Amino acid sequence: MKPINADLHCHSTVSDGLLAPAELIQRAHANGVELLALTDHDELGGLAEARAAADEVGLRFVDGVEVSISWGDDQTVHIVGLGIDPANPVLGDGLRQIRSGRDARAGLMAAELDKVGIHGAYEGALRYAGNPALVSRAHFARYIVERGHAKDTKSVFDHWLAKGKPGYVSHAWATLDDALGWIVGAGGIAVIAHPGRYRLSRTERRELFGAFKDLGGRGIEVLSGSQKDDEVSEFARIAREFGFLASRASDFHGPGESWIDLGRLPNLPEGLIPVWSQL
């Protein structure tokens, strides 16, 4: 069977991406993507526009979301939900609850950045986000670049905003239990986003995968634009061992801000079951 160009993780202006949902669809289509999921952070607001645009160009579209959860000792882990019903009220309420915490966190992040000489960060980040409920670290990063403190948004995280750096504020997101309940309850498939990006030991990682599976989680991003190439074989091995479906995910945020453009990923390693075979 010929592999299809599936890309099951990206962001629009409805969360911290740079392109509107319809623009994202046009770019995906131009890049040869055949199956796309929009997975904004804790938001479903872009799905209707994206689906309409996808129908217009004949691109298969999957309703998605990326849910932030707190795990273990102050880690944030992202769980992608694919094929969810955007009208599901429990999912909608849960995401609204997560978003309501973002504005308070943004205020605390700005206060921390102010102490190290980066002033006006709340207003600056809000200008990029457009909505207080959506302010994220990526919006702060764009402001820090704008003020000349870093050359690009990727290097911002080396000095600020990451755990242990100024501007980092720990935050209680949803629990793994909540996220799986909402995604599965809304008819979706839960997938661990960019598994290589968490600062977890091997043992802690296995604990996460095990708990995720016990709660009904079914997939991991074996290919992700936001993790290193040498991790692919490791996550392919884990997918086989845990019986996880494999996802292929650019995590595209916008031109110039992402490592990989929409759909520009290698094929999944042999012998894995693509998550899109179940969508």
Question: Which residues contact Zn ion by CB under 5 A?
Answer: 66, 78, 193, 251
Question: Could you give the CA distance from residue 253 to residue 262 in angstroms, rounded to a whole number?
Answer: 9
Q: How many CA atoms lie within 13 A of 270 on its CB side?
A: 0
Which amino acid is located at 272 in the chain?
A: L
Helices 21-30, 47-57: axis angle to 10 degrees equals: 30
Helices 89-115, 176-185: axis angle to 10 degrees equals: 140
User: Smallest gap, in angstroms, from Cβ of residue 224 to Zn ion?
Assistant: 9
Closest CA to 136 of 1, 229, 11, 221: 11
User: Smallest gap, in angstroms, from Cβ of residue 251 to Zn ion?
Assistant: 4
User: Smallest gap, in angstroms, from Cβ of residue 117 to Zn ion?
Assistant: 29
User: Smallest gap, in angstroms, from Cβ of residue 138 to Zn ion?
Assistant: 10
Residue with nearest beta carbon to Zn ion: 78
User: Given the complex with Zn ion, which of 77 and 232 has the nearer CB atom?
Assistant: 77
User: Given the complex with Zn ion, which of 68 and 238 has the nearer CB atom?
Assistant: 68
Question: Could you give the CA distance from residue 279 to residue 143 in angstroms, rounded to a whole number?
Answer: 38
User: Smallest gap, in angstroms, from Cβ of residue 11 to Zn ion?
Assistant: 6
Question: Could you give the CA distance from residue 85 to residue 269 in angstroms, rounded to a whole number?
Answer: 30
User: Given the complex with Zn ion, which of 58 and 256 has the nearer CB atom?
Assistant: 256
User: Given the complex with Zn ion, which of 43 and 66 has the nearer CB atom?
Assistant: 66
User: Given the complex with Zn ion, which of 138 and 246 has the nearer CB atom?
Assistant: 138
